[in-house]
Chains A and B, each alone.
Chain A
Amino acid sequence: MTAEPIYGLMAEFENPTDLVHASKAAFEAGYRKMDTYTPFPVEEAAEAVGAHHNRVPLVCLIGALLGMIGGYSLEYWVSVINYPINVGGKPFHAWPAFIPVTFECAVLGASLATVFGMLALNGLPQPYHPVFNVPSFTGATRDRFYLCIESQDPRFSISDTRKFLESYHPLQVSEVPY
């Protein structure tokens, strides 16, 4: 059989426990290019596939700093440099009055950065992805748990990997076509 290039092999499990076992084993077996798909966050699975850390917090911090500096400097520039007016005898640089806006700007910047940073890092929105080609994959948002080892992985070979996955008695193992 002339095998067309496939995206990978996907094993479907009934509960998170089995998924985590299989994933851990796969990692120990040296597989790296793999991912799990679950209807709700399963921390162990994420760790198993090696997704420990992410850069979302960093993005958030940058956003916060930008918002904060931007907000305050806007207020300062407007009230002290660009158009200083005597307002009720208050000083031009009335810093206590500038704090609320500065704070709100910081929060706004942080939130926007976090959300859009997260989406960007996740590569979302993404209309097409091979895993959706697996007929039974709809379970991934319902009550099934999937482990997909990708063909890009150096140690990937259809037969061995299939054997390896089946050894963790999944409900089924299916090929993920491109």
Chain B
Amino acid sequence: MPNKTDSHPNLISPDEIKPASLELETVRKKLAGANGPKYWRTLQELADQPALGELLQREFPRGAGEWLDPVSRRGFLKLAGASLALAGLAGCTRQPYEQILPYVRQPEYLVPGKPIFFATAMPFGGYAHPLLVETHEYRPSKIEGNPQHGACLGGTDLFAQASVLDLYDPDRSINITYKGEPRPWGEFLGSIRARVLYHNSNQGAGLRFLSGATSSPTFGSQMRAIQQVFPQSKWYRWEPAHHDSFRAGSKMAFGAYYDSIYKFDAADVVVSLDGDFLSGSWFPGFVRYARDFMTRRKDPEKGMNRLYVAESAPTTTGAKADHKIPARNAEIEQIARALAAKVGVAGGGAGQLSAEHQKWVDAAAADLIQHKGKGIVVPGVFQSPAVVALVHAMNAALGNAGQTVTYIDPVEIDPLINTDSIRELVGEINAGKVETLIILGGNPVYDAPADLDFGGVLEKFVADQKNMVLQLSIFKNETTDFATWHVPEAHYLESWGDARSFDGAVTLIQPMIAPLYDGKSANEIIAIFTDEPSSSGYDLVRAYWRSQHTGDDFEAWWRRSLHDGYIANSAFPAKQVAAKLGAVPAAAAVDPNAIEIIFRPDPTIYDGRFVNNGWLQETPKPLSRGTWDNVAYISPKMAQQFGFFVLETDGIAKSDSEPNVNADHQSDAQNVLEITIDGRKVKVPAWPQPGHPDGAVTLFLGYGRRKTGIVGTGTGYDAYSVRPVGSQYTGSGSIQVIPEHWDIAITQGHFTMDTREPVKAASLKEFLEDKHFAHDEPELEPRENESLYPDYRDKGWYKSNAWGMAIDLNSCVGCQACSVACYAENNISVVGKYQVQRGREMMWIRIDTYYAGDPANPSVYFQPLPCMQCEDAPCEGVCPVGATVHSTEGLNDMVYNRCVGTRYCSNNCPYKVRRFNFLLFADYTTPVLKLQRNPDVTVRSRGVMEKCTYCIQRITAARINAEEQGRYRDGRIDIRDGEIKTACQQACPADAIVFGDINDPNSRVAKLKSQARNYSVLAEVNTRPRTTYLAAVNNPNPELEKA
């Protein structure tokens, strides 16, 4: 309290105001106490009593006099002024005609203007991503990872970050339709009930369900319930980005389905056979794995782990590898066999390898053997079952199983082989065994294997009046065209549910907001078939867990679980399973001349479910930096053979191509290839991706949608249209150059560091020899305070808190989660493909990607680049209106409403991190989008410059909080280290971004900045950036280095 009053001299503490010692009350008592005819004539007479006398003499009771105290009077005038102003405002507002009522009962917890966080989870490909959702007045606005949950430790991936935009997508399906005609819920219910009665009569014969992968225990129990009520009914599954090889491989190795759990923090050597366990959202648990893996790289002085990667389609995991070899999938299987043989696994047979691959295998094998029990071999989700089986065998043979790799029961509800399942379903439909098909989520007409022609089958199916297709989906999509009934699905932020994260821990899904369009969850739809009246999602989930919970403290247990977002120690226990590998089926003989066609989920659109998400469309794909389209990766060598431009690693800019279509905009015209797989053709824009294996083309799934919203329409090509059921991720086909061009939009045109070296990198050996290798040009680096300018610290600036950021280039996996998080946190506008081609994307934190060395197999560097918050910021001096100036905490503030938009600041920014609203990019008209916006951040209008300000709204919130609590230490507002997390920092799975107070020597950021690896980008410009980087150090195998 005292130091509070010190800090606020304007306040008079209450105890200074004394109440009058005698008030009228006491006078009355006195008179009452007088007995007999004792009157008082005058006040004077009564006033014998000093106190009363004082009361009478004083015009006002004590305390009222405080108004005469100048401070208070000023306060009074302030109030008066404010109320006048408000009165004026009130005069301006039009009162609505409708009757409006205040809260009768204030909603619990709700403090207007203060966000509330709720724990929930995002189901994704059958796995739960535990989340903490920021809601403003119960509007979910921002997704964070659930820091208490072991599956993410607070990190997220870009899909979780962007999923909140899907909730508010104006193109969502908003009504129930019958053959395309809107229908009320009641009518739908009636029609379905009739159907249910019919199937009750026939044991559910002809009743078929098709859903995506799920791990929801409640859903599982409902499935079993259905099986009891309708014994004849069947469940089918289709997940376009399925993990069939994991299943088959597991079966092959263990004779049963198991999920693998990796402990990367315990591994010294990691060998990945196309396993994209860093930043591959399709790799179960990657968010946790990225964190674990990077814990072994944060401080090279304490030693580092080593990563070997053999991969087909280049991924960010390959980019982080110490030794990466590009290999076609067929070759990877050979590598797996060879490696297996080397580490003593029989049955694989020795694969035949190229010399280069052999060298890699020898080194990797040696390293693995050297680190028995401290190594991990990771299989690729999209590799053949053989590879997966061999990997299991290797981990067993190396004694890693049980140490760094454990096995648990599959998290997915009754796991199966998706391709078999969908094939069987189509067979049944064709055989006329199906009358009612319930499609829960998904979009099989679009993404089912091309040769099954699901669309055609379904068309014939619904043509028959007695058949019915019920589709539950969040969008009206290709499948909706063939659905008798379409029901809008509730977004996960609108519905109750549960799911298991990759380690089996049950995470509960609670709604943040009531369904915007009366959507229904899958659970609720299933419930229609079993119970009468059908129960709500809440009842279902709660009822299930009540049945599961042993013990009488259910209520408390339930509340705690909801609060935490997960059910305590519900993770699956590790199983002791031995890989008894029989003979692995020999690899199908591959014609070395055949072109291998590789299918992959798109890095930012996944299997197509996010195609209408503006943030993800505009998020550059890692490595290629393309947006708004999917491209087809080919190797630079192949590109040369075709005479295409080559994305060279020596400084030739590719975005320098003259505008070829209309001189109106800068476009990157790509050559077009036609891919043919058993007769089916698709035209794709070719992209020469450094590090892509020769003789292969990588196609990305999810684009080329025929029916979707405004955002997704007309983007990319449809890789599903050539994806056969037989070869889901690896096929072979022919390619042909088409004399056409395809304009793509890329956000980075140059992938070499030229002479500028914004990224400093060294090997562990070099680092240990020279810890200051990042400062290799000392003559260019200004000394501390070497400047003509005054040091503002002398003027008393930056005294309280001085914010700074340190980004560990070693840890960054280039997953783009930070960029998307920034979109969500700072209301950043999406500008569209055309504007991106013009170079006007609005990304506040971009991830620069650089290639160095041989294009066939280059080393790759990622560099997240937010505003550097320079202390001597070049942008500020040139602003004619002072719209960008420095704060006392050293931030480079942007004053949006003062900016007139000369763009001089951007020109003068050496890092080019400023973004300009060239047109009215922000959507001011679509109402539903307004719900998502962060109320603490201005929505920038046309003609205004914008940029990263270290999430100043979060800083301010923390400061206000600290001041409210009166936290001051030696004249500084005492904001605890880590109390403020910037959006990018919070989203980062690898914990690569650290923000904090550099005045506090004990803060993490100050410690990082004191490391030898710490350096500033473009130090020679002497802008003294507050954002600095920790140079990258990799850990190559000396053996391979020698050779």
Binding site for B on A (CB under 8 A): 85-91
Q: In the assembled complex, how far is the CB of residue B913 from the closest CB belonging to chain A, in whole angstroms?
A: 15
Give the distance in Å from the alpha carbon of A103 to the alpha carbon of B70 in the complex: 47
Q: B797 — which chain A residues lie within 8 A by C-beta?
A: 86
Contacting pair B885 A90 (CB below 8 A): no
Chain B nearest Cβ from A168, distance in angstroms: 64
A contacts with B: majority SS: loop
CB distance A86 to B882 under 8 Å?
Answer: no
Assess the B877–A85 pair: CB atoms within 8 A.
no
On whether the beta carbons of A89 and B873 are closer than 8 Å, the reply is yes
A90 to chain B, nearest CB (A): 6
- Whether A88 lies near B790 (C-beta < 8 A) is no
Residue on B nearest A89 in the bound complex, by CB:
B872
Do residues A85 and B885 form an inter-chain contact, with CB atoms below 8 A?
yes
Contact of A91 among B789, B871, B873 (CB under 8 A): B789
- Which residues of chain B come closer than 8 Å to A86, judged between CB atoms? 792, 797, 885-888
Instruction: Report B-chain residues with C-beta under 8 Å of the C-beta of A89.
Output: 787, 789-790, 792, 871-873, 886, 1024
Chain A: CB-nearest residue to B795: A86
> Is the CB of B874 closer than 8 A to any CB of chain A?
yes
In angstroms, Cα B787 to Cα A88, docked, is: 12
**A-B contact list, 6 entries, CB within 8 Å:** A85-B882, A87-B882, A88-B872, A88-B877, A89-B872, A90-B877
Which residues does chain A contribute within 8 Å of B169, judged by CB atoms?
A: none
Whether B875 contacts A88 by the Cβ 8 Å rule is: yes
Give chain A residues whose Cβ lies under 8 Å from the Cβ of B885: 85-87
Cross-chain contact A87 with B790 (CB below 8 angstroms): no
Complex: chain B residue closest to A85, CB-CB: B885
Are A88 and B874 in contact, with the CB atoms below 8 A? Answer: yes
Determine which residue in B870, B874, B886 has the highest number of CB atoms from chain A within 10 A of its CB, and name it.
Answer: B886
List 9 additional A-B contacts (Cβ < 8 Å) besides A89-B872, A91-B789.
A86-B792, A86-B797, A87-B877, A87-B879, A88-B870, A88-B873, A88-B875, A88-B877, A89-B790
Docked CA distance A89–B583 (Å) = 71
- A83 — nearest CB in chain B belongs to which residue? B882
Report A87 CB to chain B, min CB distance, Å.
Answer: 5
Within 8 Å CB of A85, what residues of B? 882, 885-886
The answer to the question of B808 belonging to the interface, with a C-beta cut-off of 8 Å to chain A, is no
Highest count of chain A CB atoms <10 Å: which of B790, B874, B887? B790
Residues in chain B near residue A90, CB distance under 8 A: 789, 872, 877
What are the residues of chain B within 8 A of A88 when measuring CB–CB? 789, 870, 872-877, 886
B886 touches A87 (CB 8 A): yes
9 nearest CB pairs, A to B: A88-B876, A89-B872, A86-B886, A88-B877, A89-B789, A85-B885, A87-B876, A88-B873, A91-B790
B873 / chain A contacts, CB cutoff of 8 Å? 88-89
What does the 1/0 interface line of B458-500 toward A look like (CB < 8 Å)?
0000000000000000000000000000000000000000000
**Which partner residue on chain A sits nearest B787 by CB separation?**
A89
A76 to chain B, nearest CB (A): 16
Query: What CA separation (Å) do A148 and B790 show in the bound complex?
Result: 69
Closest to A78 in B: B882
In the bound complex, CA of A85 to CA of B797 (Å): 11
Q: Measured between C-beta atoms, what is the minimum distance from A104 to chain B in Å?
A: 15
- Residues from chain A with a CB closer than 8 A to the CB of B887 are 86
Give bound CA distance, A15 to B637, whole Å. 92
A86 to B797, CA, bound (A): 9
Q: How far is the CB of A89 from chain B (nearest CB, A)?
A: 4
Which residues does chain A contribute within 8 Å of B874, judged by CB atoms?
88
Whole-angstrom CA separation of A87 from B875 in the bound complex: 9
Nearest Cβ on chain B to A47's Cβ, whole angstroms = 51
* B 859-889 to A, binary, CB cutoff 8 A, 1 in contact else 0: 0000000000011111111010010011110
Residues B780-839 near A (CB distance < 8 A):
787, 789-790, 792, 797
| Interface residues in B744-790 (C-beta closer than 8 Å to A) | 787, 789-790
Write the chain A residue with the least CB distance to B879. A87
B1024 contacts across to A, CB distance below 8 A: 89
Contacts of B886 in A (CB 8 A): 85-89
Q: Note all chain A residues with C-beta closer than 8 A to B882.
A: 85, 87
Complex alpha-carbon distance, A85 and B879, angstroms = 13
Specify which chain A residues have a CB less than 8 angstroms from the CB of B789 in the assembled complex.
88-91
The chain A residue with its CB closest to the CB of B1024 is A89
Most buried by B among A85, A88, A91: A88
C-alpha gap A89/B792 in the complex (Å): 7
Minimum C-beta distance from B570 to chain A (A): 54
CB distance from A103 to the nearest CB of B (A): 18
C-alpha spacing A51/B958, complex, angstroms: 78
In the assembled complex, the Cα of A91 lies from the Cα of B872 at a distance in Å of: 11
Nearest to B797 among chain A residues (CB) is A86
Q: How far is the CA of A89 from the CA of B882 in the complex (A)?
A: 13
Q: Tell me the minimal C-beta distance from B1013 to chain A in angstroms.
A: 26
